[in-house]
Amino acid sequence: MLALAQSESQLALNAVCPYYTMFPLSFPLRIIASRGTPRGWVADPFCGRGTSNFAARLLGWPTIGVDSSPVAVAIAAAKLATTTAGRVVAAARSILAANLDSCAIPQGAFWTWAYHPTTLSSVCQLREALLRDCSSDTRLVLRAIMLGALHGPRTKHAPSHLSNQSPRTFAPKPAYAVRFWRKHGLRPAKVDVLEVIRVRAERFLRAVPDHVEGIIRHGDSRVGGSFMDVPIGLVVTSPPYYGMRTYVPDQWLRAWFLGGPSEVQYRGSETDVRHASPGDFISDLRLVWQRLAERATSDARMVVRFGGINDRKADHVQMLKESLADSGWRLRTVVPAGDADSGRRQALQFFRNRGKPKAEFDFHAVVA
């Protein structure tokens, strides 16, 4: 499959930070490769961690991604950056040597148990510097590396993450985490933050793919102008499943690193697709498809991977079909993609208390 494009080492950047709403890289690679040479831009209106955008880069297509989550946007932006491990480590070393006086350190039981004081000080130093300036490709990748290392499992040997024992894909909830750490006597280890950055930078930047023109935007894909003035020749995307509304609280710790509050926020964003009813959801998806159609070339194609969750009785296949009506796109085929727990599919962790997820389908559409 990857004879299509690149060596395994050039795929490493795709793993810069885990993010549970993702489809396998092989999916957009296959779709984009089937279109041959670039004809317009590859767009993803729900770009998540930028898998479609990274696949476009691998295959030489310019690409644009939009997402309402600042965490997703930060990860996706790093997938289009061009830098070296040496530059990333040098940037981190320079920041840590600066000793910023205004660096704020959050207080409370969670922060005491989650990070060693010295580690937390370094994390906050990097956070402050990257909030002030994250305009270069090197800093974009450094920020994504920090997001990926911010929380995760403890190892027997050299630390690979900065926190006490935690999940990798979603942030622990403070009260539960503190109870767990206390019960098991898990104290946070003092971690050499710069060494963790060095190891990760050398892993993810072993062979950086060729540069392509690309744009990653934090925004609302339902709004006109979201895709600027680029000619969209191919859309490869996967909307959130109907009823999935835990993106904000599940990524609260990474959102804090990006300037958000130091406690969990359970209220969703107004830029998110509405989940109040199937009608609202369908209507909002249709708006997204319409915005894409406004920028689509005459021979543009769209492939949408979509599934469902078992605690919502709505027919997810019918919902997606209805969203395409009067959208500027004409549905051609619907192809089974398998179950959402087959491999690394969208929101696998979301289903841990909800039973088996419903099957996913790939919806292929053309400009109407």
Instruction: Tell me the mean pLDDT in the region 287-311.
Output: 92
Q: How many C-beta neighbours within 10 Å does residue 197 have? A: 24
Q: According to the model, what pLDDT value does residue 326 have?
A: 96
Q: Which of 176, 204, 232 is the last residue of a domain?
A: 204
Q: Which amino acid is at 203?
A: R
- Same domain? For 318 and 222 the reply is yes
Domain membership flag for residue 33: yes
Helix 70-79 to helix 51-58 angle (10° resolution) is: 10
pLDDT value of position 245: 65
- Looking at the structure, tell me whether residues 261 and 283 fall in a common domain: yes
Q: Is residue 63 part of a domain?
A: yes
Higher pLDDT, 293 or 314: 293
Q: Examine residue 209 and state whether it is found in any structural domain, yes or no.
A: no
Domain for residue 210, yes or no? no
Give me the pLDDT at residue 241, please.
86
What per-residue confidence (pLDDT) applies to 32?
97
Cα distances from 290 to residues 110, 157, 223, 358, in angstroms, run 44, 51, 10, 27
Instruction: Tell me, yes or no, whether 222 and 323 share the same domain.
Output: yes
- Is 51 found in the same domain as 9? yes
Out of 204, 236, 261, a domain closes at: 204
User: Among 182, 204, 226, where does a domain finish?
Assistant: 204
**What's residue 314's pLDDT?**
81
| Contact (CB, 8 A) for 13 and 54 | yes
Please state, in angstroms and rounded to a whole number, the distance separating the CA atoms of residues 244 and 189: 34
Burial of 41 (0-12, 13-18, 19+ CB in 10 A): buried
Query: Does residue 162 have a pLDDT over 70?
Result: yes
Give the CATH number of the domain where residue 362 resides. Answer: 3.40.50.150
169 and 255 assigned to the same domain: no
Answer yes or no: is pLDDT of 313 > 60.
yes
User: Residue 5 pLDDT > 50, yes or no?
Assistant: no
Whether 350 has a pLDDT exceeding 70, the answer reads no
More confident residue, 155 or 106: 106
Q: What is the reported pLDDT for 243?
A: 75
Give a yes or no: residue 211 inside a domain: no
Judge if 91 and 76 occupy the same domain.
no
Give the pLDDT of residue 347.
42
- Partners of residue 218 on adjacent β-strands: 67
Q: Quick one: 357 and 226 in the same domain?
A: yes
Tell me what the mean pLDDT of segment 14-29 comes to.
87
- Kindly state whether residues 102 and 76 are assigned to the same domain: no
CA nearest to 209, candidates 74, 55, 3, 23: 55
Give percent of the chain above pLDDT 70: 88
For residues 73 and 91, membership in a common domain is answered with no
A 10 A CB-CB count for 165 gives 18
pLDDT band at 336 (very low <50, low <70, confident <90, very high): very high
Q: Are residues 222 and 357 in the same domain?
A: yes
The confidence score (pLDDT) of residue 343 equals: 42
Return the pLDDT at 14.
95
57 and 183 part of one domain: no
How sure is the predictor about 354, in pLDDT bands with cuts at 50, 70 and 90? very low
Same domain for 244 and 335?
Answer: yes
Task: Provide the domain count of the chain.
Answer: 2
**What residues make up the domain containing 92?**
85-204
Instruction: Give per-residue pLDDT as tens, 231-277.
Output: 999 999 999 888 766 677 899 999 999 999 999 987 666 667 787 78
196 within domain boundaries: yes
Measured between alpha carbons, how far is 230 from 40 in angstroms, rounded to an integer?
A: 8
Q: For position 141, what pLDDT does the model report? A: 98
Q: What is the mean pLDDT of residues 133-137?
A: 97
Cross-sheet strand order for the sheet of 232-237: 214-218, 63-67, 41-44, 232-237, 296-306, 359-367, 329-339
Q: Between residues 270 and 279, which one has the greater pLDDT? A: 279
